[in-house]
A = this chain, B = another copy of it.
Amino acid sequence: MEANGSSVPMKTGFIVPARVNRETKPDGTIVSVKGTELGGKGIVIIAGPCAVESSEQLFETARSVKANGAKILRGGAFKPRSSPYNFQGLGEEGLKLLREISMETGQSIVTEVMDTRQFELVSEYTDILQIGSRNMQNYPLLKEAGMSRKPVLLKRGMMATIEEFLLAAEYILNQGNDQIILCERGIRTFETSTRNTLDLSAVPMLKQLTHLPVIVDPSHGCGLRWMVPSMAKAAIAAGADGLIMEVHYKPETALCDGQQSLSLDEFSLLMTELKRIAVAVDRVIL
């Protein structure tokens, strides 16, 4: 295998880059976050609000998802929003709230970093650095993540091929950081009845091509609260190593993505169902 990537020709012209290539690590990479392992037999559930809005909203949501099995808490402090007039996140104030509640619940934290200038600040507070869909090909950001010692949750670009997704991960690995979690979150197609088209075939494809753990975000994938449970179950049946889901204590008042956020009760019910699917594919929800 050449240094510039090679081998495992999928189809003519398709090359899996060298460092992410499963051949270099047939047993797979385990990403370990404060003792929780992604990429092994266990399935990890990440849940929380789209954006941190207030201590009440964050704390109530965090306590509830923790009680129902979410090992990791998600919550955006810096939000990439299509319109400059939308809520852009609480910034450092949001990061502080995440730390406060995580010290209480013992959950790990994942939050997004959008700007190379934010790495130092965000790294102080978070356990996992998220690189969002819109930044999957933001190469300075990927390189910075590669120089970090924190695990990175890399979301697939909403119109990125599998090949480009792997190359984005290669940018991070190439800087020395192999603690990468890949996340399928829906791609853009002509279909408009769902927000995106969740591409679950990406799960077995990525598991085949790379040694990195693969999780699914059914919330962004379909954009419809009532559809999240079906797609969450399907993701686990397809072989996902984890799920990241938006949950809000009052979805109807959420400042962002309310229509795709599960309520606390819906999340609780779903966790029961997910456990049964996990068993049916010889795995277990951690």
* Residues of A in contact with B (beta carbons under 8 Å apart): 3-5, 10-14, 17, 80-85, 114-117, 134-135, 137-140, 157-159, 161-164, 167, 170-171, 174, 187-194, 197-201, 203-205, 208, 221-222, 226-227, 230-231, 233-239, 273, 276-277, 279-281
Contacts and interface: CB of A to CB of B under 8 A. Distances in A.
Contact of A167 (B84, B201, B236): B84
Given A11-B192, A170-B84, A189-B187, A227 B198 contact: no
Contacts of A235: 234
* Interface-centre pick from A82, A239, A273 (highest chain B CB count, 10 A): A82
A273 to B, nearest CB: 8
A192 B161 CA distance: 7
Nearest to A170: B84
B10 A13 contact: no
Contacts of A114: 138-140
| Chain A to chain B: the 5 pairs with minimum beta-carbon distance, closest first | A159-B159, A237-B237, A115-B140, A234-B238, A280-B280
A158 B190 CA distance: 11
Contacts of A231: 200-201, 204, 238
A163 B208 CA distance: 29
Contact of A117 (B116, B137, B163, B280): B116
Given A191-B199, A200-B234, 14 more contacts: A5-B83, A10-B193, A17-B85, A82-B137, A115-B116, A115-B140, A161-B192, A188-B190, A201-B221, A201-B222, A233-B281, A234-B238, A237-B238, A276-B280
